[in-house]
Amino acid sequence: MALGPFYVADKLKGGNGMRGIALLMRHGETAWNREGRVMGRNPIELDVEGRAQVAASIPFARLIKPELIVTSPLARARQSAEIIAAGVGGVPVAEDPQLSEVQYGRWEGMVYDDLVEDADYLHYRDHPLDAPTPGGETIAQVQSRGVEAVRRAIGENSGRRILFVSHGDIIRTVLCHFMRLELAHFRRIRVDNAAFSGFQLIGGFAEVKFLNLLPDPDRAFVAPFVSKKRESP
């Protein structure tokens, strides 16, 4: 047997401080997702396809047995949380604004083909740790509030399984923190719509249990949207 599990076993039985299981889910797909359009803080709702996508995740949600759901207050996340809550048997749902999507400011509503011609975006794309979005956030600030939301909920609900329903970059940065992965690499973690990740937290130690699990795994190998320019002959 490999020795890695011995180390983990020692950590999980001997750690002090907060204890709990954090389950992370990205909201279901919207029409704007498929268009490659920046949603940001816009109140975009799930469409029929997005609701069906979240509903397809209910069987797995039942297996991981969340006892509490904490969600971003944005419509697409709140709707996803309510679908899961009803599907697993009426789990309580609470909102936390710190789980909200990145503030993208004037980029909101723009599509990928417009962004790649925007000088501010190109600078942000290459320097996300230092350059803020037009809405005023760096990716480090995004990570800070996401991690704070997770730690606070676990601290207030010791030992419970909590499902956090949030947005792609929030989840990526939170996972980087608990995996001790340099934040500069946050875009290496795939986070699909209606997909689950999870880790167990004991004090300052976290063991990642799974990443980006979704009911239709082939979707993870498909580009999240198609550029209109790439569609052109």
Sorted by where each begins, the domain ranges of the chain are: 19-102+138-221
Q: How far apart are the first and last CA of the chain?
A: 55
Number of H helices, E strands in the chain: 10, 6
Fold of 19-102+138-221: Rossmann fold (3.40.50)
Each residue's pLDDT, cut to its tens digit, for the chain (233 residues) gives 676 777 777 777 766 778 999 999 999 999 999 999 999 999 999 999 999 999 999 999 999 999 999 999 999 999 999 999 999 998 999 999 999 999 999 999 999 999 999 999 999 999 989 999 999 899 999 999 999 999 999 999 999 999 999 999 999 999 999 999 999 999 999 999 999 999 999 988 999 999 999 988 888 898 887 776 655 54
List of E strands, 6-155:
19-26, 68-71, 93-95
Q: Dig out the tokens for 200 from the structure.
A: 């167990």
Which residues are within 8 A (CB) of 36 and not within 5 positions of it... i.e. 6 or more apart?
111, 112, 113, 224, 225, 226, 227
Helix, strand, or coil here: 225? coil
Distance CA 197, CA 14 (A): 24
Q: For position 40, what pLDDT does the model report?
A: 96
Residue 197 φ/ψ, nearest 5 degrees: -130, 160
Which residues are within 8 A (CB) of 181 and not within 5 positions of it... i.e. 6 or more apart?
175, 189
Q: For position 105, what pLDDT does the model report?
A: 96
**CA 187 vs CA 89, 133, 151: distances in Å:** 34, 16, 22
Q: For position 227, what pLDDT does the model report?
A: 77
The DSSP code sequence of 99-137 is GSPP--GGGTT-BHHHHTT-HHHHHHHH-TTTPPPTTS-
